[in-house]
Amino acid sequence: MFPSSTLDAVQATVKIGLLGCGHVGGALVAILQHDADTIAAQTGVRLEVARVAVRSMSKERTVPIPASLLTHDAASVVADPDIDVVVEVIGGIEPARTLILDAVKAGKPVVTANKELIANVGQELFDAAAEAGVDLLFEAAVGGGIPLIRPLRESLAGERIRRVTGIVNGTTNYILTRMAEEGADYAEALAEAQQLGYAERDPTADVEGFDAGAKAAILASIAFGGRVVAGDVYREGISDITAADIAYAGRLGYVVKLVAIAEHVADDDVAVRVHPAMVPSTHPLASVRDSFNAVFIEGESVGELMLYGRGAGGMPSASAVLGDLIDAAHNLRAGSVGRPLHLRPVHLRSIDDLSSAYYLDLEVADRPGVLATVAGVMGAHGVSIKSMEQEGAGSGARIVFVTHEARERDVQACISELRALDVVSRVGTLLRVLGS
């Protein structure tokens, strides 16, 4: 479409050192092999993958890569004076951290998709990039192909953001969607997700909320300009959610989703958490099905907005890396740099001090006075009942409560006391209700 010889004459070539050529790196190479001319015509920068570092030199690649570009020595790519921009898509903390620090110290802009790194040692990397006066961009680290970091950092730069609520893990959203729509239990839905390649053989990082927690930390840092790391995030996963919980939620007009919430509570207080929640079926996040992701942002001036799309996958994530790459290459050629990221210390509000409405499921003895005993314990802890439903009779009778808004600390104290009652045989799932 665009004769490359003509374009080469007018467009500066920016040479990329690609660290990692797996799902994301391979997809980036494929896009550039196909679209480099179009990108050059549209943006004025010609991107060329000049070197590619991988772990195994003999592994078959999904894209043809000349053997002369491949190396297993990632540090030599970073140090290569011909390399203008470094793209890190290796993952994990080391050697990614050292490679990125070396690149920025050498004055090279870096693009990374590495959520683990940004959520744990982001501050060190941002400081190093600011000191060196180079870009460090990481759009793909949260929400894969969904533009989130740039909208938050640029379009909403002056916005007083109140809350960011995201469905940021495709694996758990897929599992919960199958449970809701097919009545599958958790183990069945997980097995199906594993079969389809949505879940790893060891699904812990996804189903226990670690992946979403890292993304929540990054979203909180960007939305509020505060230092929040993965370890600061309160976290619960979905592995205890039952098909019955989801069916009850459906009957009450809710869907169950694993949500990541970053909230501005007061002054420099922020609360960041990941847990399953009952989302009203009228809420925009309720319609986010299967492995899709979405982030719902509430701001003082902008009101409510939602960004939706593919939160993972090689191609969607490579699309986000490419956008960063074009930005970094453009700035490099222009001799400029984007606004550095300075994060200030913030105070993290404990979940114990937050309030919500709750869904609580109890198995009780079906005999006179049980309900009054349970309601008495709840009332004593300031947890008032909004609605209640009883199912079954005999020793396995089940009562499901939805409460009015209550403090987490009080609800947890109430649950401890309920557990100790001889008329309560089991305290089941506790779910927070979104939007209460």
Interface with ligand NAP (CB under 6 A)? 19-25, 53-56, 59, 74, 89-91, 95, 113-115, 140, 144, 312-314, 317
Structure tokens at 4: 């490359």
Closer residue to ligand NAP in complex, CB, 167/271: 167
For the CB of residue 319, give the shortest distance to ligand NAP in the complex, in Å.
11
Nearest approach, Cβ of residue 314 and ligand NAP (Å) = 6
Q: How many CB atoms lie within 10 A of CB 69?
A: 16
Angle at 209 between CA 208 and CA 215, to 5 degrees: 160
Q: The tokens of 366 are what? A: 């079906």
Which amino acid, 257? K
Residue type for position 105: K
Nearer to ligand NAP, 25 or 203 (CB): 25
Locate 26 and state its tokens.
Answer: 């391979």
241 vs 274, beta carbon nearer ligand NAP: 274
Cβ contact 185:178 at 8 Å = no
Q: Residue 104 to residues 4, 19, 110, 135, 290: CA-CA distances in angstroms?
A: 31, 14, 7, 8, 38
Q: What is the 3-state secondary structure (H, E, C) of 285-344?
A: HHHCCCCEEEEEEEECCCEEEEEEEECCCHHHHHHHHHHHHHHHHHHHHHCCCCCCCCCE
Max CA separation in the chain (angstroms): 88
Using Cβ positions, the residue closest to ligand NAP within the complex turns out to be: 22
Catalytic residue among 108, 115, 215, 257: 215
Closer CB to ligand NAP, 92 or 376, in the complex: 92
Cβ atoms of residues 215 and 260 within 8 Å: yes
Distance in Å, CB of 197 to ligand NAP, minimum: 11
Burial 280-311 (b: 16+ CB within 10 A, else e): eeebebbebeebbbbbbbbbeeeeeeebbbbb
CB of 311 to ligand NAP, least distance (A): 8
- Work out how close the CB of 78 gets to ligand NAP at its nearest, in angstroms, rounded to a whole number: 11
**Residue pointed to by tokens 């890190």:** 88
CB of 161 to ligand NAP, least distance (A): 23
For residue 346, CA distances in Å to 115, 188, 220, 270, 409 come to: 20, 41, 10, 7, 22
Based on CB atoms, which residue is closest to ligand NAP, 89 or 406? 89
In the bound state with ligand NAP, the residue whose beta carbon lies nearer, of 206 and 361, is: 206
- Which of 269, 233, 237, 271 lies closest to 256 in space, CA to CA? 237
Beta carbon nearer to ligand NAP, 145 or 338 = 145
Smallest distance from ligand NAP to CB 133, Å: 25
CB of 196 to ligand NAP, least distance (A): 14
Whose Cβ is closer to ligand NAP: residue 288's or residue 312's? 312
Q: How far apart are CA 119 and CA 248, in angstroms?
A: 35
Would you call 344 exposed, middle or buried from its count of C-beta atoms within 10 A (0-12, 13-18, 19+)?
A: exposed
Does residue 257 have an active-site annotation?
A: no
Give the residues across from 254 on adjacent strands.
Answer: 280
CB 108 within 8 A of CB 300: no
Instruction: Give the closest residue to 218 by CA, choosing from 298, 295, 279.
Output: 295
> Which positions are annotated as active-site residues?
215
